[in-house]
Chains A and B, each alone.
Chain A
Amino acid sequence: MTEKQQSEPAQMTLPTVTNVEIYSSLEREDLHSGKNSMNTSQKKSWLADFTQEHLPANRLRSNEDDMSNKFLSTSTSRRYKKRHSKQKIKVSRSIHAKLNHTQRKLAKDLITSQNQKYSTYIPLRRLWTSYIQDLMSVDMSKVTAPVFMTLAQKMMKADLHGCPLTVRRSKCPGYVGVEGIVIQETRNMFTLICQDDKVRCIPKANSVFTTVLQNVVFTIHGNQFLVRPGERAAKKFKAKSTIDL
């Protein structure tokens, strides 16, 4: 390949090409006049597609001329302060669509779909119960107080999808008493499906959740649990000063 390319420029009486290896992956037509035959608009659209595919999203910010965060603002209204504090990343719409399309579609289907039934998630709950019993590796009916600490540690790292959770206490009285199976857990929310086939999103903050496993009750303080489930496995939970809501 390299010989060919070395000979090509020589034949076309062009200056010698350095760093020839980087061109090795290009097609022959790319080097040739194939691309030169495109007009400006075609070239622009080709370039746009190329950059979208290969460049990371934050390189494509178009508001680099905005110098407002380099100067102190004298406007005291809260609205402007809020706007300036969050740097608005003006990414083109196509980027949004491309990146989040699949993610959003899945989430939307999960929550707003009309045909979610509680009965479809009962096998999931059973699966979770067997998973958690394997994880605990202790016979629940004979567990005593000294073992609670290790069980709690294991529960902290466990995956809660399929867990039958109850909101025991909450700052908002509307969430108190809600119980259902966890179908989605994110950094701040639990999505539960209740027995009347309603899908409810409960924020983790300012709530206390409980789940019962045979005759052991696990209590989850939502305020301390504001971590993504994937990161929770690796996170070290520190002892907080208060468990007050």
Chain B
Amino acid sequence: MAATFTSAAFNLTTLVQTDDKISSAISGHYFNNALTVILPGTNSLPETVSECFADQLAYQLHGLPVYRLVEVPFIHAFVKNGLIYMLSANTQLDTHDCVAVTPDGWLILHLTKDTYHELGLEATKQTHQQKNSDTYVVKVNLLASYFKPGKKNYDSTLWCLKNRLDLVFDFHIAWEPKDDKVCSSSVSAYFLDKCAKVERRCLDRRTQVLTSLPCPKVQADDPEGTSGQSCHFQEVFEWIGAVACGVDMTVKDEDTSYTSSLCCPEPSQNCPRCCLFQVSGFITPGTILKVFKALRQYTTAHTDLPPASLTVHGFQDSPIFTNNCPHHLHICGDNLMTFVYLPSNQCWLYRAVAS
């Protein structure tokens, strides 16, 4: 690849993954903004994959006060009996306060200095980046056994959130119930009277068909590309990103092209058709796991095609990255994972975090 690789804010791992690691990686990445699927060799997305998005129910709550997330009915009904994903919308991580509720029962408040000084709740120990940017993270364990009314901790937390400041946010919310009989839209019914507006968040889909796309040759046992038969894994990653952005890579000679010097890594094969599918919205890890499995079935059925890839984008303004790891804005807030499907049930996982 002709373009240089800025590795300053980039964390990249590529391993041949087992199924458990993959599912834990997916389910640990709670807040997903967008999905990109690149399928060389087809015109359109297979039916099995688009079915996964059918029963996805995500909502946007407008003007919900934060103390509602600490109330006992909410905790009993939604936090304990399923997987709840909530993220504050329209808030920027470096300038505003951000709130998130994770499925393992943590309410995370990522606060600016002024809000923290007025609120009166204790924060966790600051990391170096948090000290530099003067932000404080308050974590409340909603599933703790001591967190109930009558106890000092609960009472003071509720009082602080309710009376000290008017912390009101818009939220993205999605809930996957443990019990299959309960519909996940009950979370919207619960919040109808507690906030200003509840609206259904639909997914924006975009499908594009690319013709005669050069695809890199990938070999599972040779990630570095030393043998000359396959490409280096970093170049493959850049190629995936370039295709997703719609960069024109047909011009081979880098000097003549003005707009971009990106080209397909060698050795490559020409692919007559390729389907590029992008969907954005608030997507739960459960849906992504289904998509992953469906794509895996598809690629094992069609082994002669170049490798397919699935990219999961997280929110730029999410206060946590994965598994309660704090997220900051270094240059930008990108956090994404890419899976490259290789023959014989193998898979590469890339992770890029700009924080």
Contact = CB atoms under 8 A, between A and B. Distances in A.
B164 A173 contact: no
Interface of A: 168-171, 173-174, 176-177, 245
Nearest to A244: B113
Contacts of B118: 168-169, 176
A245 B159 CA distance: 23
State the majority secondary structure of interface residues on A.
loop
B117 A245 contact: yes
Interface residues of B, number: 13
B156 to A, nearest CB: 9
Interface of B: 113-114, 116-123, 159-160, 164
Contacts of A169: 114, 117-118
B125 to A, nearest CB: 13
A148 B114 CA distance: 25
Contacts of A245: 113, 117
16 contacts: A169-B114, A169-B117, A169-B118, A173-B116, A173-B120, A173-B122, A173-B123, A174-B122, A176-B117, A176-B119, A176-B160, A176-B164, A177-B120, A177-B159, A245-B113, A245-B117
A112 B345 CA distance: 72
Contacts of A168: 118
Contacts of A176: 117-120, 160, 164
A170 B119 CA distance: 9
Given A171-B117, A173-B116, A245-B113, 14 more contacts: A169-B117, A170-B117, A173-B117, A173-B119, A173-B120, A173-B121, A173-B122, A174-B122, A176-B117, A176-B118, A176-B119, A176-B120, A176-B164, A177-B159
Contacts of A170: 117
Contacts of B117: 169-171, 173, 176, 245
Contacts of B121: 173
A198 B166 CA distance: 28
Contacts of B160: 176-177
Determine which residue in A173, A174, A177, A245 has the highest number of CB atoms from chain B within 10 A of its CB, and name it: A173
